Each structure stands twice: as C-alpha cells, then as structure tokens.
Amino acid sequence: MSVSPDDALNLPYFRRPPALGGTSKDPVWQISEADLGPNLCYRADPARPGHGFVEPIRPMTLAEYQQALAQTRRLWQKI
C-alpha cells in the first residue's frame, strides 16, 4: 500500500481533500508505524522522498495481506 509518511502534504494535490489544499473527494487517514501490528511493516521508497509503502513483513497471500491491513482499521485516524 502506498503511503505518505510524516505529512499528508506530501500527497499529490489530487489525492488530498480540499481541507488539505487538494482536490480529492477521498478522505486521508493516518496510523502510527508502531500500530501496524506483527504482519506489516513500513518501507521508505528509495526512489521518492516523502513516499513509502506498508508491506507484508513476510511472504503471504493477498487475502492474508488484506486481513492484516483490516486488523489495523480500528487504529486509523481520519485527518
């Protein structure tokens, strides 16, 4: 999953809602890296500062990855 670490303003304007200076109709959520749980990890994008990924910590099926993401949902905070 593509993420914008540290600051939602790192998102492209078309991904940010108007309250964050953008044009998107989609909300923006945040979660602490510490709350990703035992099956997910954050990896900075080596090619693009201000961009990163939430990835599986080990090889897993798509269904397992989706479940690991779903298990963090209660910890998401809408910005």
Measured in whole angstroms, how far is the alpha carbon of residue 25 from the centre of its chain?
17
pLDDT tier at 38, thresholds 50, 70, 90? very high
pLDDT tier at 19, thresholds 50, 70, 90? very high
**Amino acid sitting at position 28:** V
| Cα–Cα distance measured from residue 22 to residue 30, given in angstroms and rounded to the nearest whole number | 17
Mean pLDDT over all residues of the chain? 94
pTM: 0.82
Percent of the chain with pLDDT over 90: 85
Domain count, the chain: 1
| Cα–Cα distance measured from residue 39 to residue 31, given in angstroms and rounded to the nearest whole number | 15
How many CB atoms within 10 Å of residue 54?
19
Structural domain that includes position 25: 2-78
Model pLDDT, residue 32: 94
